[in-house]
Structure 1
């Protein structure tokens, strides 16, 4: 009885409370994670044991000179030790591991993953690795949600809801983007969207955002006052056409990025077997790149999350399109080296960087061709940022809303939508898998990309049941047929015998009977299938009064044939 209650799950009010608790942990986790990044970065780049680090400002040249090349190498040794010793799941960008736990591991994520991921990613980012902080905090929040679900002995479907609350809360607190956090959970993680799933996720995300704003800042991620326009300004109608080719360009960029990451990973794995040496060599190359940037361009630019360079673009401090394209190439190479050699961190931030550089360079080219163009360069950059994230990850709505929340530039809304959907469509055509799903497919695990209507979840048993069954008394001889046989004695149901391919001289009452459950016609179809799975039943008899088990009350039967037919009908609609 206790197992059945556990499978039925906890009430909605308790799930809401647990969602808020997960949001609290995700909010504080985002704050602590930033402090860890700041501590590592300040130690390795400036030689100062300080926690505060503003990634939107360029790091000044430190006292180490050319020895700064070794900072990423030092970080690589620590990251490799942590990942290899304590949690291999902490390697990479984190989100595929969360998706894998949802679809293939009943929502189980080991608790130590949160600790190891936070430290490893903080070291990877702080030492100069070209990765983002959103992937780690997503995995950290998801790991706590899974752990909390295990403590309360939640069934997998409710444990997954808490995982999504932690992931959405983590990304919302990291970027100060509550709507983006909710949409991320909906687009990429949640298996169904309804009141039971959306309420805990939304509450957790809002809680994490509030705590993040309290501890970090209420300002948008890219706080550029010139972008915040109090009145809505409509972009030139003909100017919107320019975002069509930008969308195509960004689609190619997304495809190159998705394939480039795993190409680099395969090359490193094939050429260098030793984990420490592999990651150290990759980060040595990154160290050389960031030192050369400081030596010849005046700033590190491509190290870490790269937000300072994005701020320069949005503020108009970088106006050379060739230099912007150089930054794009270097950031792409640095990210492939970091993740391909074994680093730990997310792909959102590199995507934002590459989208901003390509978008701004394209906008500058448009201004050269059309001097009267009244669309500002930052609008092209912001549209490119959203397109890079949406096309790379497959989270189109998340990218569109989140980038707007990060900049609050109302002029960019229409260009964002146009650019993102075209970039996503082209990337989907060139590469059916996103940067997340491709990693899982390489393991042989296939997960869906994109939302589907929960048609089955809305159906009742009466929509799927059949009247194709035969009635027989226990002493009746078995007759071959395609229909199951409902056995009744004196008006009471005895059991169900599966279809008989061959005749038998034995009475049906002596034949093996299938396990079954009894349900009313209005019982939810998904809940009935869940009960059948729990009880090991092959059939559900649909009765007017299930508790009486009277043969006269039978209105239908639900078995493997009916469930398969219902699934086929659903597939035709999706």
Structure 2
């Protein structure tokens, strides 16, 4: 419908102005901050009750039982309410931002929060900061559904929600923005960054004011000024190397754990997570009491007050239990575990540095000297986080924002960058992209393949530049005549080049119902002003959104107020169909119908017609000779066609062309017909596309057989025989014969491979007519068998030779041949037997399968020096292979 229009101010509000962007960013930040606070409070309350219960009741029963029940309930919630809430949630957000259809809404956010509270409160070694990213993105996605917005702007809202979620989880607004840019978008556009920064800042402020949100660091870690000197550099390098190696091991361990649960543990998701909780509780029972409280364990490790053996134990236990929990599919993140593991590793390296400092002759107490273990712990946090997430910038900024100590920047940079480089050598790529690929979503493949082409399409790519318009000063009575002459249901109303409105059949009908007289009524009185439009640079996603949002069938394309084109639903559907089927690599509107500029007619005395497209004066006589031989045998007429191609920006019916070459070529066909005593009709068509013109001629002239020249090879990817030929073979219902002509010698010696298909039979039916062209024809029928077939069945070969011997007045021989490559066997046999013509039946397989498995006819034509004739029988409908 064209009649739907809204005021310009309201439309700008709905489609996402900057004022609306600021408002939505603030709302997203507030809601994400509140969600993060609620998540922290819920985890703290349930976790505190679990620790209390472990002391009030026997721990060896309480902890495993709570882990089992809590894990089962969380798994049940995820399975029944929102399967998208499994895992950390960051891969799901990454996929949604890449336009993969994954649900993100209020239902997912609620399921995620409830299940994460159950998981972490039950003692699982996972974090809540990763899930807050998904919660924030899901809440932003729900907001984009409540307030209409375009797909591109919705993507920006999702990014803002993810940034706000991470900022609220860590009290690190800058890190929230950088993580989204570094991991998700790689987009530094003003609107995206501005929305993400504002939402991230608001989310962090809300979480800090209401919940003192963030990763708990010991006072010694936040109050102590980090010390750093030249003597520390080698140890920070060692820390980076160890963090890289162990971070890569941790990342690969996640996939080992996932594979184990998927292939070995044949249980439903609730039982898998419950089993992980049971194992976690059973192991924690055997550890010191400090390990029962995850928050307490973090402080215990961060203070560094324990002996190195206890910290090493904490590293190993945290490492293994995180893999056990994550592999089960439990909703929870790896941010916090990675930071705690890094902190433990840093303390161990710092402790080792202090231990060997006297052996190296370095000062033990005086400055400069080896930095404190706290400095190493903080550097280790960034290094291990960088190795696991492959986000070195985010790692540096997160730790810096938590400590606000500029002295930490250089140690963080050394450890994080080295850890990133080392880990990337062992397990390349983002862990979140790898997790998506594990579940069958390969974002990197899609980004490098042709599927990414759709993200670059714009309105200018597909729009029709020739637009029928009406003037606003046109009387309604004349407008009605324009509608009666056109198939369009509406017209843009243009004054000069300026688009001023839209008029539709509905507008005319409404006016007629209101008044029976159209006198002194003009289009400006009934048109819809200020219509919905797009610019040529708008992406296809924006065009599709507007078409669906306002229930339109087409959109004017404008530059400012100037009308430059129009884009319809049909244009988009056609381009998508062409792209998916490989019909064309050129996107754009459908070509206009061809236009006949010259034609001659002979008496219609034949039983059928053969279409012979002519373009090359050198090959035309040979094609006509073959066509005439078939026409005489079948009592057919010849329809000779020459196509004149014009650019798509010009209408075939309105373009001036020279027909001198066409007339000369078609007159040659007429003379040939008189010589062979075959009726010949001729026509020249002006067209955008040669194949389209041939199909129109086939339909209009009721063609029974098309015989056309063929180069014998194609270099175009996705093509089997070539652009025009592929289209004709797919869509023409008549019989099609392709001829690859070599320098004319003779048509004496014929080689016909057979395989038993219907097209091979069609080829055999043409032999009596075509062998009549030779003075002394000689036919060799061969059947190719696989090399391992010692005693092949030659019944079919014998029957074919016997049948042809009765119908042909020439020798017919049979020859079984063995080989693994059909093209190679045929070309070698043709060379050995000195044949003039190779005649083939088109494969029974679809064209797409031929491209994949190898195009046998094309390979034979490419590597042979003989004339090659390929026959495809008539079909009831087009073959879209």
By how many angstroms is 1:285 displaced?
Answer: 1.3
Partner of 1:369: 356
Matches within 5 A, 1:89-488: 89-105=84-100, 108-217=103-212, 221-222=216-217, 224-225=219-220, 227-228=222-223, 235-275=228-268, 276-293=270-287, 297-300=288-291, 306-320=294-308, 322-371=309-358, 372=363, 373-447=369-443, 484-487=647-650
Summarize deviations over 1:260-305 as a string: whole Å, max 9, x none: 1121121122222222433222221110121111xxx33116x5xx
Q: CA separation in 2, counterparts of 1:78 and 1:424?
A: 37
By how many angstroms is 1:358 displaced?
Answer: 1.2
* Residues 90, 108 of structure 1: alpha-carbon distance in 2 compared, 3 angstrom cutoff: closer
Aligned with residue 32 of structure 1, among 38, 45, 48: 38
Instruction: Report SS of the residue matched to 1:507.
Output: strand
Are the counterparts in 2 of residues 72 and 284 from structure 1 also a CA contact under 8 Å?
A: yes
* Residues 116, 227 of structure 1: alpha-carbon distance in 2 compared, 3 angstrom cutoff: closer
Partner of 1:500: none
By how many angstroms is 1:480 displaced?
Answer: 7.0
By how many angstroms is 1:374 displaced?
Answer: 2.7
Once superposed, what is the RMSD of the aligned Cα atoms?
Answer: 3.7
Q: CA separation in 1, counterparts of 2:207 and 2:429?
A: 32
Are the counterparts in 2 of residues 33 and 122 from structure 1 also a CA contact under 8 Å?
A: yes
By how many angstroms is 1:203 displaced?
Answer: 1.0
Summarize deviations over 1:403-424 as a string: whole Å, max 9, x none: 1112334332111101111111
Q: CA separation in 1, counterparts of 2:190 and 2:102?
A: 20
Which structure's residues are more often helix, by fraction? Answer: 1
Are the counterparts in 1 of residues 218 and 302 from structure 2 also a CA contact under 8 Å?
A: no
| Number of corresponding residues | 473
Are the counterparts in 2 of residues 30 and 173 from structure 1 also a CA contact under 8 Å?
A: yes
- TM-score, scaled relative to structure 1: 0.74
Partner of 1:84: 79
Are the counterparts in 1 of residues 227 and 371 from structure 2 also a CA contact under 8 Å?
A: no
Higher relative contact order (CA 8 A, sep 6+): 1
- TM-score, scaled relative to structure 2: 0.49
Q: Does 1:44 align with 2:43?
A: no
* Residues 249, 112 of structure 1: alpha-carbon distance in 2 compared, 3 angstrom cutoff: same
By how many angstroms is 1:145 displaced?
Answer: 0.7
Q: CA separation in 2, counterparts of 1:237 and 1:475?
A: 85
Q: CA separation in 2, counterparts of 1:253 and 1:287?
A: 25
By how many angstroms is 1:446 displaced?
Answer: 2.7
Are the counterparts in 1 of residues 378 and 399 from structure 2 also a CA contact under 8 Å?
A: yes
Q: CA separation in 1, counterparts of 2:164 and 2:190?
A: 18
Are the counterparts in 1 of residues 644 and 686 from structure 2 also a CA contact under 8 Å?
A: no
Are the counterparts in 2 of residues 224 and 314 from structure 1 also a CA contact under 8 Å?
A: no
Instruction: Report SS of the residue matched to 1:343.
Output: coil
Are the counterparts in 1 of residues 342 and 377 from structure 2 also a CA contact under 8 Å?
A: yes
Summarize deviations over 1:513-555 as a string: whole Å, max 9, x none: 9xxxxxxxxxxxxxxxxxxxxxxxxxxxxxxxxxxxxxxxxxx
Partner of 2:703: none
Q: CA separation in 1, counterparts of 2:218 and 2:655?
A: 73
Summarize deviations over 1:371-408 as a string: whole Å, max 9, x none: 43331111111111111112211221111101111233
Q: CA separation in 1, counterparts of 2:96 and 2:68?
A: 31
Matches within 5 A, 1:506-517: 506-508=685-687
By how many angstroms is 1:6 displaced?
Answer: 9.2
Instruction: Report SS of the residue matched to 1:187.
Output: helix
By how many angstroms is 1:63 displaced?
Answer: 4.1
Summarize deviations over 1:110-156 as a string: whole Å, max 9, x none: 32110111000110001100100012211111101111112223222
Q: CA separation in 2, counterparts of 1:141 and 1:492?
A: 58
By how many angstroms is 1:216 displaced?
Answer: 1.5
Summarize deviations over 1:161-181 as a string: whole Å, max 9, x none: 111111111111121111111
